[in-house]
Chain A
Amino acid sequence: MAQAHFTETPFVRKKQRAEVIAKCFFGGMAAAMVIPLLLIVGYIVVQGAPSLSWEFLTTNPRLGGIRGGIWSALVGTLYIVAISLCVSAPIGVLSAVYLNEYAKDNWFTRIVNLAVVNLAGVPSIVHGLFGLGAFVYAAGMGKSILSASLTLAIMTLPVIIASTKEALSAVPVSFREACWNVGASRWQTIRHIVLPNSISGILTGVILQVSRTAGETAPIMLTGVATFKMVQGTGLFLYNPVEDQCMALSMHLYYIATQANNAAPSLPYAIATVLLGVVLVVNATAIGVRAYLRSRKKW
Chain B
Amino acid sequence: MSSISLSLRSYAPRSVWSLIGTLFLFLGAWVMVFPFIWMVSSSLKPTDEVYDANFSIIPRTFKGFENYYEVLFNQPYLIYLMNSFLVCCGILIVQLITAVPAAYALAKLKFRGSSILFGTVIAALTIPINVTSIPIYVALAKTGLLDTYLAMMLPFFISVFAIFLFRQFFRGFPDSIIDAARVDGFSEMEIILRLVLPSAVPAIAAFSVFSFVAHWNDLYWPLIVVTSQDKMTATLSMMQYQSDFDTDYGRTFASATVVTAPMVIAFLFARRLFIRGITMTGVKG
Q: Do A and B bind each other?
A: no
Interface residues of B (CB under 8 A from A): none
